[in-house]
Amino acid sequence: MFKTEKSAAAIQTNLAAIFVSMELSRSTWLITTLLPGTGEKMSKYPIAAGNTAGLFDLFAKLQERSRARTGRVWPIITIQEAGLDGFWVHRALVKVSIESHIVDAASIATPRKRRRVKTDRVDGETLLRVLLAFKRGEPRVCSMVRDISHKDEDRRRIGRERKALMVERVAHVNRIKGLLFSQGINDYEPLHKDRRQRLEELRTGDGQTLPPHMKAQICRELDRLELVIRQIRIIEDERDALIAAQSTDGTKPSAVTMLLRIKGIGAEFANIIWSEGLFRHFENRRQVAAYAGLAPTPWQSGSVNREQGVSKAGNPGLRTTLIQLSWLWLRHQPDSTLAKWFTARIERNGGRMKKTAVVALARKLLVALWKYVNFGVVIEGAVMKTA
């Protein structure tokens, strides 16, 4: 007789641990637990938000209670939803050797009733059942969020703060132009260097000087605008210094440096693409597209087969940057294979659906950049910058 090895079960049933779900809010953390030897009974404990010492004390009591009941010390496995708390709670748990998971709340299946019960107690029990299914190995039960390091998380601040300041700059410019338009003035540019001098020379549509209170309001708007402009310049200097300090191993340049070599990609695009997406590890192109929210979402049922568009379930900043870069790619890289694909598709559609096609181009471009950065596969037909 031949001895055969027993194959591993697809679904694990021996889950020897204390399972904990944490519903985190600004005021209270609701802790839902399931201990070995208690059957299906779930217990709930409220803790003041941010009280990690109290949380660890509760974990110690749970372990002691389970030890007294079963005679063994069980490990603790926790789960929480991705939210405003970021990763600091997860890092605090991992630091003391507690297995912690962060789940994407949108990936959890919920009842499709018109009105369903939604409370912290119900959500805590739901999270606990999701954690149990995940640890059993059930496929596609949820999507767990991958944490990032302090360094990678902090690097994102540069691009995100610059984006917020650019929005603020546009708001100040539009407010100044709107005030002046009400006086018949439509040729004033607040971003020009001579904005103060030009303001003194302005005349209303009927030939009068600016009203004193309106002029004072515009001056205060210019003060805020100039502050925003200075802060944008400071952030861009920090970004450029960070790019310049990218370390190399002597043979292979850094990823940001590789992106900057492509014509049409500047410092801001390279920084956003790397810090918001490509610094992560992806197994395949589907994961890359899904992370940016550029994955397709077909709707198929019986004879119905249609496309709903991209999922928009990923990183919105990365997705927006890729779509903006796609428009610039058509201008700076017209002879590349990707640009020719876009042109051919638009011609087949009779010149219509350019916005839809450019989103598809953004997905292809992101995958091509991922291959270029990680595997050195140069985008076919792309023009590189001269040294």
* Domain boundaries of the chain, sorted by first residue: 18-136, 150-244, 255-375
Residue 66: how many other CB atoms lie within 10 Å: 21
Burial 306-324 (b: 16+ CB within 10 A, else e): eeeebeebbbebbbbbbbe
Query: How many CA atoms does the CB half-sphere of 277 hold within 13 Å?
Result: 29
Q: What kind and span of H or E run contains 266?
A: none
Residue 12 clears pLDDT 80, i.e. is over it: no
pLDDT of amino acid 247: 60
What is the average pLDDT across 6-20? 68
**Secondary structure (DSSP) of 276-326:** IIITS--SSHHHHHHHTT--EEEEEETTEEEEEEE---S-HHHHHHHHHHH
Residue 143 clears pLDDT 70, i.e. is over it: yes
Residue 249 clears pLDDT 80, i.e. is over it: no
pLDDT of amino acid 278: 94
Residue 248 clears pLDDT 70, i.e. is over it: no
| β-strands 43-48, 76-81 pairing | unpaired
pLDDT of amino acid 3: 40
| C-alpha–C-alpha distance, residues 135 and 100, integer Å | 12
pLDDT of amino acid 6: 43
Query: Could you say which architecture CATH assigns to the domain 18-136?
Result: 2-Layer Sandwich (3.30)
The larger pLDDT score, comparing residue 41 to residue 335, is at 335
SS3 state at 116: coil
Residue 197 clears pLDDT 90, i.e. is over it: yes
Q: What percent of the chain has pLDDT over 90?
A: 74
Cα separation values, 256 from 146, 155, 342, 387, Å: 22, 13, 26, 16
| C-alpha–C-alpha distance, residues 26 and 38, integer Å | 31
**Secondary structure (DSSP) of 321-340:** HHHHHHHHHHHH-TTSHHHH
Split at pLDDT 50, 70, 90, the class of 182 is very high
Residue 317 clears pLDDT 90, i.e. is over it: yes
Mean residue pLDDT of the chain comes to 91
pLDDT of amino acid 2: 37
What are the φ/ψ torsions at residue 18 (nearest 5 degrees)? Answer: -95, 120
| C-alpha–C-alpha distance, residues 341 and 361, integer Å | 8
Q: What percent of the chain has pLDDT over 70?
A: 95
Predicted confidence (pLDDT) per residue in 211-225, tens digit: 999 999 999 999 999
Predicted confidence (pLDDT) per residue in 61-117, tens digit: 999 999 988 888 999 999 999 988 999 999 999 999 999 999 999 899 888 887 888
| C-alpha–C-alpha distance, residues 40 and 125, integer Å | 11
What is the average pLDDT across 221-240? 97
What is the average pLDDT across 240-260? 82
pLDDT of amino acid 80: 96
| C-alpha–C-alpha distance, residues 18 and 205, integer Å | 75
SS3 state at 32: strand
Split at pLDDT 50, 70, 90, the class of 5 is very low
Q: What kind and span of H or E run contains 103?
A: strand 99-103
Give residue 114's region: left, alpha or beta (phi > 0; psi -120 to 50).
alpha
| C-alpha–C-alpha distance, residues 126 and 376, integer Å | 44
Report the Cα–Cα distance between both ends of the chain, in Å, rounded.
70
Residue 378: how many other CB atoms lie within 10 Å: 13
